[in-house]
Amino acid sequence: MSIIIFITASNEKEAKKIATMLIKNKLAACVNIVNGVKSLFWWKGKVDQAKETLLIVKSRKEKFNKLVKLVKANHSYAVPEIIAVPIACGFKPYLNWINESVR
């Protein structure tokens, strides 16, 4: 099953490092890096905020656990956002490309 994983990083440098490692290790077919994300969130009992960089990762469900290990080992956050959602439908040639890219 193809999935999209959302990962927030502290800055663009960290995001590029993680994205490159995901691609090189065939854990992702494609990673979009979106700068300028403003996040508000609960942290340690209070509302906090941060400027972050968002990674939008296209991969496969069976790669998720390895992807999480790689991200955790290279991420500056104690509890990084790493969440996946299934791709319900999509352009078949693109979904095939995801499958082929992460083999």
Q: In what order do the strands lie in the sheet with 30-43?
A: 30-43, 46-60, 2-9, 82-86
Average pLDDT over residues 71-82: 96
Per-residue pLDDT, 98: 97
Does domain 2-101 fall into CATH 3.30.70.120? yes
Q: Which residues, including other chains, have CB under 8 Å from residue 88's CB and lie 6 or more apart?
A: none
Tens of pLDDT along 21-73?
999 999 999 999 999 999 999 999 999 999 999 999 999 999 999 999 999 99
- By the 8 A CB rule, do 7 and 57 touch? yes
Per-residue pLDDT, 65: 98
The residue to which tokens 């080992």 are assigned: 73
- Total-model pTM: 0.94
Per-residue pLDDT, 33: 98
Q: Which two tokens stand for residue 22?
A: 């995901």
Angle in degrees, 0-180, between the axes of helices 12-24 and 64-74, rounded to the nearest 10: 140
Closest by Cα among 78, 77, 84 to 27: 84
Per-residue pLDDT, 58: 98
List the domain boundaries for the chain.
Answer: 2-101
The DSSP secondary-structure symbol of 26 reads: T
